[in-house]
Each structure stands twice: as C-alpha cells, then as structure tokens.
Amino acid sequence: MNKILPSILVLALLAGLPLLSLPEYLLHLLITAFLLGLACTGWAMMGRFGQVSFGHGAFTGIGAYGMAMMWNLYGVSPWIGIPISVVLAAAAGALLGWPCFRLRVVGHYFALVTLAAGEIVRIFVTAAREITGGSLGMTPHLAPEAAFSAMQFSKSGFWWITLGAWAIGILVWHLQNRSMSAQALSAISEDEDAAASIGIRVAWEKLKVTVVSAALAALAGALMAQYRLYLNPETSAGLGISLQIVFGAIAGGMYGPLGPTIGALFTIGLEEVLRVFFGTGLIGAAPLIYGLLLVLFVLFMPRGLMGLFESRRHLGPGKSSSTKTPQRVGT
Amino acid sequence: MNGSATLELSGIQAGYGDFQALFGVALRVEPGEAVGVVGPNGAGKTTLLRVISGLLRPKVGTLRYGDQDLTKVPAHLLPELGIAHVPENRRLFPHLTVEENLKVGAYAKSARAEFAKRRDRVYDLFPRMAQRRHQLAGTMSGGEQQMCAIGRALMCAPKLLLLDEPSAGLAPLVVQQVFDLVRRIRQEGLTVLIVEQNVAQVLRVVDRAYVLETGRVAAEGKSAELSADPVLRRSYLGMH
C-alpha cells in the first residue's frame, strides 16, 4: 500500500530526463505539458465534484501578471512574487466563489459566472496597457547576471522547477482525496440539500476547494509565463487557456491523480500536431477540433484517457460508477 | 438537562416571503419520547421541521433544545449538538455506496474519529445494510434506502432524530418495516420526532402526537387518545 517510495522513484526518473540529452524541443513540450497538467490537476479537484469552471484563465492570468508586474515594476524576485500572486489568485477565487456558493449558483450558471471572470481578467489586462503592455504582451526584464534570483534558467533548470510544482499539485490531490472534504464534496455534488441536512457546510467546502484549485492554476500560470518569458492576455488569461485546462482535465480523466496530466500531455501533443499540419493555413481549425474532441470525450470516454487504464475494482472513493460521469461533466 | 424538554417550541411563526405557513405553533418533546406531527398536505409539517433543523428561521417564537436557543445555531452545527435530520424522500447520495453514505453522515468533527464504531453499530442495528455496504445506494429498494438514510443520520450519534415523512413513496408493507425500524431506534434510547401523513401508522409508534392544520396545532394528545378521538378518526383515519 505504500505509495511514497514508487512516487519518489518516478519523480527521480523524471528529474533525470535532462541528463539523457533529450532534444530541446522535447523538453520544451514536457515543461509546457506538465505546467498545463498542474493547472488541469487543480481544475479537476473541483471539476470531478461537478464544480465546472470555465474561468481558470482568470487565475493563471493573475498568477502570471502578478508575478511579472512585481518583477518588472518593483524588482520583486519571482521566488517571492509567485507565492504572492498565488495568494492573490486564491483570494480572487474566494471572492468569486463565496457569493456563488452562498446564493447557490450551481451547474450551468456557475460555469457562466466563471466564464465571465476569466474574460474580465483578460480584458482588464488588455485595457491596462501602460503597466501590462496590453495586447502586445509583456516581457519580464532579463537579468543574466542574477539568473537564479530572477528564476531565469535553462530548459533543464526549468524542468526541475516544473516537476517540483507539478509534484505539489499531485500531493495536494492526494491530501484532498484522503480528507473528509472529498467525501463531503462528492455528497454535495449529488445533492446539496441532503448534504446540508447531515451537517455538511456546503458553501464552505466548495469555497475551500475553489481556493486551492485557483492557487494551483495560478502557480501554473506564473511558471508558464516565467518559462516563456513572455506574457500575453490571450495566452496567459482568458477563454483560450481556460478551455485548454478544461479540455486537458476531461480528456485525461478527472478521477485519478494522473489523469489531468495525461490529458495535458495529450492536449499539448495535439496542439503541436495541429500546428504542424495546418500551420496558419486554416485559422480556427484547432479550436474546432478541440470542441469536437471534447464532445466525443464527454459522450464516449467520460472517464478520459485514464479510464482506459483503470480496472473496474480500482476506482477512487465514491467513484464506483462510470455511468454518472457524463451528466456531471456536462453540467 | 434534567426535567427540561429535549425540544421546546413556542409561538413559532414562519413562512416563505409574504406567505406564512406557521401561525404560532407550540410543541414539546421530552427526553426519550417519540412524538408525531400529523396533518394533511400543506398543513405546515415540513416547514415546522425546517424550522427545527435551522433551514428556515422563524419570524417570531422561541425554539429551544435543552438549554440552548436553536434559532441562533447555524444548521450545519446541529449534528454536533446531537440533532439528526432524515429529510423527506430520503435524499441519499445515490451514486455513493451504502458505506460511503454512512461515511459522510459522520462529517461532523466530533463524529469522524468514531466512524468505525458507529458504522458497526448501524450494521448491528440494520444487518441488511452490512450486506449491501458496497452497493450504490440509488440501486436499493425504497425501504432499504430509508434504512440507509436513517443509518446515515445515526452516524452523528444523535440524541434527537427528526424524521420527515419516512413512509413517503413506499409500499404499505415496506411502510410497516420502516416503522419497525423506528421502534428499534427508540429502544436505543433516542428521542424521535416524526412528521408523517400516514396517521394510522405513526400513531402506533409514537407516544404523543400533534395534529397540524393550516399552520396551527388543531389537536394534541397521547396516541391512544388521538386514535380514539371520533373527529380525528373521521378526518384522518378514514374510519367512522
């Protein structure tokens, strides 16, 4: 039953990848995919309990721009700026979530509220062009003489940071899975009134998971920006990244800790394939294919790619039926 | 709490927006007693239970549990105080197994450490649930679901059990079985308040009952007296 040793072993193996002198391009894809995987893991912590957010781009955006603005405007090192902007994003999650959960904004309505939230952050970033660079994007100042404190590393250095952050996400998932909150949330996702009647603090439990989920998305967003050393309202915030996170989590499967990461790997792989095939020849082809695949996944593979590897017996707590997932994901 | 009622309501007025459902209801449940609240549809039975379990705040009136003012206690803390609510239509979590339903029943902080012990007690009390522990709750029969819902409520080790329409939607034979469960629970020393439309059945289980009519208590008394009351027999029991 001891999962700690194998986990450390896998992590060590992954950490050793740069030593194999992989092509830079492959390492680049892995970094991107694992950072997206971190965001998807955070998303799935809510999503698997029926709290579907189309606005996690708001949190990646706050994480990215918070970090970059602190560095560019005040010279705050990303090592400090990232934790601060993660806290800011968590606070934004609380601010968004609390009224929703108190007023019982659930299902489609919750999805719409979050959708708007993601767009608000994107529009705000675009509008505040004096400090954010607007739609032209923003480049964190380079600091070659102080690369460590500026968190500006080579690809392998960044791979290790990515891996550390990703491992935090997986750890948080496990902690959630073992906690009473997971039980409470699965009860809430089935019937909020019944959950309240047995003393579950419905709004509070939903708020907790939203805050944690927002924080993980923000961490991913900030690291993504720091890795690319380029921020753009379209790619760091807003609907595009929100949908990418949703797609990754659903495609990979939300009911095991590795599902969202598998989904992220698939998403990034697909993106590259589409880019190579279509290039700029067919603008709009990629979102179309995403949308189509999303529908197909929800209909035919509600447990995602990970569902292919699951044995029937070995399901997570409260997830003993595969028939329920379509409705849950769809709402 | 010696001498004081487990639960005491007086002058309760409550409603939804402009609509008033309860007009000064008074009710008392002594420790160890089983009390029924009966009445036709729309009499305010469920509203009364919602008031007691903190889901609806009364506009006027007092609501005491032991020496505590319940109108000031948030609903989610009631299980910690020993009040468990079995909602109408059971409201199980259909896609969780029986055991998982019991597990969320032990959500209250004070109950988590006691989970295994209490689960075993529920299984002792309802052996059927032990057989079905890994079955999805939604796939069981109505009577078994009611059993599971009561078991879930027992997980917070309540002193007072509130049952809302335990017979709703069940076949007559199963209704009898459910009331047998209530008898068994009473033997465990629990205080029980049942809201029920099935007057004939509930009067066989409870010590006393209140008859609610359009938000007012129309009659109250010992079960035996009420079932002998000619007016009540005619209006509720369909007997002449």
> Using one digit for the tens of pLDDT, what is the confidence trace for A140-158?
988 888 888 888 888 889 9
Name the minimum distance, in Å, from the CA of B218 to any CA of chain A. Answer: 28
Q: How far is the C-alpha of B124 from the C-alpha of B70, rounded, in Å? A: 32
Q: What values do phi and psi take at A151, rounded to 5?
A: 55, 45
- A326 has pLDDT over 90: no
**Is the CB of A199 less than 8 angstroms away from the CB of B153?**
no
The DSSP secondary structure of A228-279, one letter per residue, reads HT-B-HHHHSHHHHHHHHHHHHHHH-SSSTTHHHHHHHHHHHHHHHHHHHHT
List chain B residues with CB under 8 Å of A321: 95, 136
- A160 has pLDDT over 70: yes
pLDDT of residue A331: 33
Q: For residue B142, is it within any domain?
A: no
Q: Is A11 exposed, middle or buried (0-12, 13-18, 19+ CB in 10 A)?
A: middle
Segment A116-126 mean pLDDT = 93
Residue type, B97: T
Compare all CA atoms of chain A with the CA of B134 and give the residue at the minimum distance: A320
The whole-angstrom distance between residue B232's C-alpha and the CA centroid of its chain comes to 22
pLDDT of residue B29: 93
Q: Residues of chain A whose C-beta is under 8 A from some C-beta in B?
A: 180, 183-184, 186-187, 190-191, 193-201, 204, 317-318, 320-321, 324
Q: For residue B177, is it within any domain?
A: no
Q: Pick the residue with more confidence: B1 or A255?
A: A255
- B17 has pLDDT over 90: no
List chain A residues with CB under 8 Å of B75: 196, 199
Asked if residue B27 lies in contact with residue B47, where contact means CB atoms within 8 angstroms, the answer is no
List helix spans (H) across chain A.
4-15, 24-47, 56-74, 78-102, 107-127, 129-132, 155-178, 180-190, 192-197, 202-228, 233-236, 238-252, 259-278, 285-300, 325-330
Q: What values do phi and psi take at B235, rounded to 5?
A: -80, -30
Question: Average pLDDT over chain A, rounded to whole?
Answer: 87
**Is the CB of A198 less than 8 angstroms away from the CB of B85?**
yes
List helix spans (H) across A179-201.
180-190, 192-197
Structure tokens at B147: 């059993």
**Half-sphere exposure in the Cβ direction for A271 (13 Å, CA):** 17
Q: What values do phi and psi take at B202, rounded to 5?
A: -70, -35
- Edge-to-edge, what's the strand order for the sheet holding B60-65? B19-29, B7-16, B60-65, B68-69
Segment A283-288 mean pLDDT = 73
Q: How far is the C-alpha of A249 from the C-alpha of A54, rounded, in Å? A: 12
CA of A115: how far to CAs of A91, A96, A165, A242, B81, in Å? 17, 11, 26, 8, 40
The DSSP secondary structure of B197-238, one letter per residue, reads S-HHHHHHH-SEEEEEETTEEEEEEEHHHHHH-HHHHHHHS-
Q: Is A295 exposed, middle or buried (0-12, 13-18, 19+ CB in 10 A)?
A: exposed
Q: How far is the C-alpha of A188 from the C-alpha of B81, rounded, in Å? A: 22
pLDDT of residue A230: 93
Residue B65 domain boundaries: 1-79+191-240
Nearest to A184 among B53, B107, B134 (CB): B107
Q: Using CB atoms and an 8 Å cut-off, which of residues 192-231 of chain B contact chain A?
A: none
Task: Count up the domains in chain B and report the number.
Answer: 1
Name the minimum distance, in Å, from the CA of B232 to any CA of chain A. Answer: 32
**Is the CB of B95 less than 8 angstroms away from the CB of A193?**
no
> Using one digit for the tens of pLDDT, what is the confidence trace for B150-182?
999 999 889 999 999 888 888 888 888 888 888
Compare all CA atoms of chain A with the CA of B50 and give the residue at the minimum distance: A197
Q: Which of B232, B178, B170, B168 is nearest to B200 (CA)?
A: B232
**Is the CB of B96 less than 8 angstroms away from the CB of A318?**
yes
Asked if residue A256 lies in contact with residue A322, where contact means CB atoms within 8 angstroms, the answer is no
List chain B residues with CB under 8 Å of A183: 100, 103-104, 107
Asked if residue A184 lies in contact with residue A177, where contact means CB atoms within 8 angstroms, the answer is no
Percent of residues in chain B assigned helix, strand, coil, to nearest 5: 40, 25, 30
pLDDT of residue A143: 85
List helix spans (H) across B158-198.
172-187
Asked if residue B36 lies in contact with residue B196, where contact means CB atoms within 8 angstroms, the answer is yes
Q: How far is the C-alpha of A302 from the C-alpha of A281, rounded, in Å? A: 32
Segment A247-276 mean pLDDT = 90
Q: What count of residues does chain A have?
A: 331
pLDDT of residue A91: 97
* Location of structure tokens 């992590």: A11
Compare all CA atoms of chain B with the CA of A187 and give the residue at the minimum distance: B93
Segment A198-215 mean pLDDT = 94
- A316 has pLDDT over 90: no
The percent of residues in chain B predicted with pLDDT above 70, rounded, is 96
- A328 has pLDDT over 50: no
Asked if residue B58 lies in contact with residue A149, where contact means CB atoms within 8 angstroms, the answer is no
**Half-sphere exposure in the Cβ direction for A146 (13 Å, CA):** 10
**Is the CB of A199 less than 8 angstroms away from the CB of B80?**
yes
- A317 has pLDDT over 50: no
B174 interfacial to chain A (CB closer than 8 Å): no
Name the minimum distance, in Å, from the CA of B96 to any CA of chain A. Answer: 5
Segment A113-135 mean pLDDT = 91
pLDDT of residue A16: 85
Segment B31-59 mean pLDDT = 89
Residue B23 DSSP class: E
- A327 has pLDDT over 80: no
Q: For residue B58, is it within any domain?
A: yes
Q: Pick the residue with more confidence: B115 or B234?
A: B115
pLDDT of residue A318: 41
- A325 has pLDDT over 50: no
ipTM for the complex? 0.75
Name the minimum distance, in Å, from the CA of B197 to any CA of chain A. Answer: 21
CB count in 10 Å sphere of residue A35: 29
- Segment among A141-145, A160-164, A255-259, A309-313 with least mean pLDDT: A309-313
Interior angle at CA B158, CA B156 and CA B161, nearest 5:
120
Phi-psi region of B165 (alpha: psi -120 to 50; beta: other; left: phi over 0): left
**Is the CB of A190 less than 8 angstroms away from the CB of B108?**
no
Q: Which of A231, A263, A204, A305 is nearest to A63 (CA)?
A: A231
pLDDT of residue A48: 92
Asked if residue B141 lies in contact with residue B65, where contact means CB atoms within 8 angstroms, the answer is no
Compare all CA atoms of chain B with the CA of A203 and give the residue at the minimum distance: B76
Structure tokens at A309: 């590897």
Q: Please, which pLDDT band fits residue A298 given cuts at 50, 70 and 90?
A: confident
CB count in 10 Å sphere of residue A187: 29
Q: For residue B236, is it within any domain?
A: yes
Q: How far is the C-alpha of A252 from the C-alpha of A307, rounded, in Å? A: 8
Segment B5-12 mean pLDDT = 87
Q: Is A280 exposed, middle or buried (0-12, 13-18, 19+ CB in 10 A)?
A: exposed
pLDDT of residue A330: 34
Segment A59-79 mean pLDDT = 94
Q: Using CB atoms and an 8 Å cut-off, which of residues 17-56 of chain B contact chain A?
A: 53, 55
> Using one digit for the tens of pLDDT, what is the confidence trace for A19-48?
888 888 999 999 999 999 999 999 999 999
List chain B residues with CB under 8 Å of A200: 76, 104, 107
List chain A residues with CB under 8 Å of B80: 199
Asked if residue B101 lies in contact with residue B122, where contact means CB atoms within 8 angstroms, the answer is no
Q: Please, which pLDDT band fits residue A311 given cuts at 50, 70 and 90?
A: low
**Half-sphere exposure in the Cβ direction for A36 (13 Å, CA):** 31
Q: Please, which pLDDT band fits residue B76 given cuts at 50, 70 and 90?
A: confident
Q: Please, which pLDDT band fits residue A222 given cuts at 50, 70 and 90?
A: very high
Q: Pick the residue with more confidence: A315 or A84?
A: A84
Q: What is the CATH number of the domain that holds B42?
A: 3.40.50.300
Question: Average pLDDT over chain B, rounded to whole?
Answer: 87
> Using one digit for the tens of pLDDT, what is the confidence trace for B139-151?
998 889 999 999 9
Interior angle at CA B15, CA B9 and CA B16, nearest 5:
145
Name the minimum distance, in Å, from the CA of B204 to any CA of chain A. Answer: 27
Segment B207-220 mean pLDDT = 91
* Location of structure tokens 């008033």: B20
B118-131: burial string, b at 16+ Cβ within 10 Å, e else: bbebbbebbebbee
